[in-house]
């Protein structure tokens, strides 16, 4: 196992309501990647876009240093199957890591979920199932989960999924809000990569840090 390597998966809502902040979501994502490239230690990145018509792995476990800039690949549309996308992400991430040689397997796994609306299109997974999956991965493998949400009670929704309160944040569904969300997310990812507590993600967004 490579203790200095972190596996990062970003599950990014691409439902229609993200269209109004699309350009800033792209800019925030790219800024996040550039900041993470500056950090010490190795990292792999998986980036997934989801709506009710697709579950698209834009990047699949590539070296973070090789990550290209996001652009036209991010095309918001349709509805928000948040539970199904989260469940599939956890299952496929676990399968990918299990398939690695032990010597190449990352010592830390970070799953980031960013959404801007209510769950309204899932038909496979329930909240209870997702909560059990998240709690199991945290307890047995030490995975970290981060949840950022707009237009919902982020702490209630994230808590229902089993995510720790300090790893949850609400952001404004605006150009400034999505940028602040990615800025705060970048700081939290730095803590997680160093195996340190994420230290109140929500407060950093509220304070604009």
Supply the pLDDT for residue 200. Answer: 65
DSSP letter string over 136-171? HHHHHH--EEEEEESSS-HHHHHHHTT--GGGEEE-
**β-strand pairing of 2-13 with 106-115:** parallel
The whole-angstrom separation of Cα 28 and Cα 124 is: 31
26 contacts 70 by C-beta, under 8 angstroms: yes
Pairing of strands 144-149, 106-115: parallel
Q: What are phi and psi of 177, to 5 degrees?
A: -65, -45
pLDDT tens digits, residue range 24-59? Answer: 999 999 999 999 999 999 999 999 999 999 999 999
Share of the chain above pLDDT 70, in %: 95
Dist. CA 191–CA 199, nearest whole Å: 8
Per-residue pLDDT at 208 exceeds 60: no
Q: Which of 92, 83, 22, 80 is nearest to 53 (CA)?
A: 80
Segment 2-31 mean pLDDT: 96
Could you report the per-residue pLDDT of 110-149, keeping only the tens digit for each?
999 999 988 999 999 999 999 999 999 999 999 999 999 9
pLDDT of residue 86 exceeding 90: yes
């Amino acid at each position: 196992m490579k203790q200095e390597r972190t596996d990062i998966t970003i599950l990014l809502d691409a439902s229609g309501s993200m269209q109004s902040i699309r350009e800033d979501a792209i800019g925030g994502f790219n800024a996040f990647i550039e900041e993470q490239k500056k950090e010490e230690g190795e990292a792999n990145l998986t980036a997934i876009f989801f709506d009710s018509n697709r579950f698209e792995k834009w990047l699949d476990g590539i070296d973070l240093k090789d990550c290209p800039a996001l652009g036209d690949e991010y095309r918001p549309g349709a509805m928000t199957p948040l539970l199904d996308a989260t469940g599939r992400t956890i299952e496929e991430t676990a399968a990918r890591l299990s398939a690695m040689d032990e010597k190449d397997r990352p010592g830390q796994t970070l799953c980031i979920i960013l959404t801007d609306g209510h769950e309204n299109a899932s038909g496979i997974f329930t909240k209870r199932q997702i909560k059990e999956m998240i709690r199991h991965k945290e307890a047995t493998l030490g995975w970290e989960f981060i949840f950022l949400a707009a237009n919902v009670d982020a702490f209630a929704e994230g808590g229902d999924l089993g995510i720790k309160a300090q790893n949850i944040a609400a952001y404004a569904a605006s150009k400034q809000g999505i940028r602040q969300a990615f800025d705060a997310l970048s700081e939290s990812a730095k803590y997680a990569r160093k195996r340190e507590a994420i230290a109140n993600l929500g407060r950093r967004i509220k304070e604009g840090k």
